[in-house]
Amino acid sequence: QVQLVQSGVEVKKPGASVQVSCKASGYDFTNYGITWVRQAPGQGLEWMAWISGYNGKTSSAPKFQDRVTMTADTSTSTVYMELRGLISNDTAVYYCARDVNLIVGGLAWLDSWGQGTLVTVSS
């Protein structure tokens, strides 16, 4: 079965960077994309960025373009998402999700989700 397993809880200071990993299994990694969605405490879902498992192409929401970097390791079916310049408002649960579009980011639904990674930004 499809599984997305994310790395564990992170606590960071303002200005730092955080890297969250997402290891996929149970499907052909190169046939899908991976999208990152975050959820601040008590808030809704926010689409952040996407990476193709096929060719590593990426796209990001405008508000994250300057701060997010993603890489895909096809040998281990793992995606890494780095968020730089953390501020308190970045405190959230970060989810990776399988995106059925492997060519263009943001133009498809998300059919399987990781368990989420809590990132807390605090001085």
Partner 1 sequence: EILMTQSPATLSVSPGERATLSCRSSQSIGSNLAWYQQKPGQSPRLLIYHASTRATGIPARFSGSGSGTEFTLTITSLQSEDFAVYYCQQYNDWPGFGQGTKVEIK
Contact residues for partner 1 (CB under 8 A)? 37, 44-47, 61, 95, 97, 106-116
User: Measured from the CB atom, is 54 or 113 closer to partner 1?
Assistant: 113
User: Measured from the CB atom, is 73 or 111 closer to partner 1?
Assistant: 111
User: Measured from the CB atom, is 18 or 110 closer to partner 1?
Assistant: 110
**Shortest distance, CB of residue 42 to partner 1, whole angstroms?**
11
**Shortest distance, CB of residue 13 to partner 1, whole angstroms?**
26
**Shortest distance, CB of residue 20 to partner 1, whole angstroms?**
14
Q: Which of 34, 12, 8 is nearest to 89 (CA)?
A: 12
Q: Are 117 and 7 in contact (CB under 8 A)?
A: yes
Q: 43-52 contacts: CB < 8 A, separation 24 or more?
A: 43/92, 46/92, 47/106, 48/81, 48/94, 49/81, 49/105, 50/99, 50/105, 50/106, 51/79, 51/105, 52/102, 52/103, 52/105
What does the alpha-carbon distance between residue 123 and residue 19 come to, in Å, rounded to a whole number? 18
User: Measured from the CB atom, is 37 or 68 closer to partner 1?
Assistant: 37
**Shortest distance, CB of residue 38 to partner 1, whole angstroms?**
11
